[in-house]
Amino acid sequence: MSKTAALTHPADTQAPRAEVAIVGAGLVGGTLACALAGHGIKTVLIDRLDPTTMSAPTFDGRASAIALSARRFLNAIGLWEHVAASEPIREIRVSDGASPFFLHYDHSEIGSDPLGSMAENRHLRGAIAAKMRDLGDTLTVITPASVASLAQTADTITLTLEDGRTVTAALAVSAEGRNAALRDLAGIKVTGWTYPQVAIVATIGHERSHDGIAHERFLPAGPFAILPLPDDNGVHRSSLVWTERADTAASYLALPDAEFLSEIGERVGGFLGALSLIGPRFSHPLGLQFAAQYSAGRLVLVGDAAHGIHPIAGQGLNLGFRDVAALTEIIIDARQLGLDLAHPEGLARYQRWRRTDNLVMAGVTDVLNRLFSNDIAPVRLARDVGLGIVNRIPPLKKLLMRHAMGTVGDLPRLMR
């Protein structure tokens, strides 16, 4: 922790005053705290969990595809150097079941940089915790703690914690994820729906190297992703994100290890050789949601508190990092100009900047999931032909690769 005293602050006293108070110390909120405190913004980070506990292998078992622009951002704020292990994504192969048509991305077609990097979430959380320790008094972490209420004045926003302490700041940020309490306390409406699907997440070992290739296979129940991880003690590893129907996922999760691995083997195929199951299996419900607005007075939303999408393209966390990079730029610019950190023009710019990008990606992932998560013959034929055509149009394929790398559009300075 960056400041042990903050963790034992007596309940009958006030917590330190901050310039920015962030609620939620996950990947998005923790990164924002590191970015702001690293730029000299006095920041308080609040979470119901100790961030160090989120680095345990058993916390959720997920790994994330970090786009090139997001990796540049993490490197710019001094966080990427703390990531214990990552694997470059050199190629992506997209196929529709057993169809002979496919889409193949190769990083060498557009430059020397990889398309992205795979990192286990526990390593990303460990990097955040390590960076926090470097930030001294600029960052105060208050855990475990939950916010009970908020109140705003013309100049401040005050968060009252359940133990009675209060945190007062110029700006508060909700990075709490999809079930964001601050968003609800501020009366910001959310639109969304639940997919009849569940994501089953597991890590496998395999006999042959993955060669840095990520595979996305579209099966009738949903996409099945095989994502390259770094070797561990000589064992080749990949992360699986297996989308299954919600009404059958529980039966797969309940299988003994040998039978569960057999089901994985049928979907992976034999190209990786003999498979083994590493660690526990996890499941996550899937849905789409987006907030009607990204700010209310001195409260602003980032990451899944503002938008949650289907993992079909692996872009959810990258959108969150773009939120963080954009908000960091706006806050730093306000500080340099001597403006209120929550000045309305800045927060309006943040919403314009990020909402369109996030809504477009939400729409794209929703359409892709509905288009590919079925076995309707005419639809299957149309999408297979589409994959084959795109694969044979180099300019279009290169543009799609750059989108996957996050290097197109109006990027924040820290991502360029």
DSSP 293-317: -SEETTEEE-GGGTEE--GGGS-HH
SS3 28: helix
Give the CATH architecture of domain 4-85+118-192+288-377: 3-Layer(bba) Sandwich (3.50)
Residue 99 pLDDT: 83
DSSP three-state, residue 406: coil
| Terminal C-alpha separation, the chain | 30
For residue 116, the SS3 value is strand
Examine the pLDDT at 6 and tell me if it is beyond 90.
no
- Residue identified by tokens 């702001």 is 36
Stretch 393-403: mean pLDDT:
95
Q: Work out the pLDDT band at 100, boundaries 50, 70, 90.
A: confident
**Domain boundaries in the chain?**
4-85+118-192+288-377
CB 282 within 8 A of CB 187: no
Residue-level pLDDT at 57: 66
Pick the closest to residue 353 from 377, 387, 325 (CA basis).
325
| Least confident among 6-15, 300-309, 399-408 | 6-15
Q: Which of 13, 7, 45, 16 is nearest to 28 (CA)?
A: 45
| Mean pLDDT of all residues in 307-313 | 95
Q: What is this structure's pTM?
A: 0.94
Instruction: Give the pLDDT confidence of 49-85 residue by residue, as tens digits.
Output: 876 676 676 667 899 999 999 999 999 999 999 999 9
Phi (first) and psi of residue 309, to 5 degrees: -125, 170
The two three-digit tokens of residue 388, written as one number: 């084959």
CA distances from 362 to 142, 216, 217, 313, 352 (A): 33, 18, 20, 10, 16
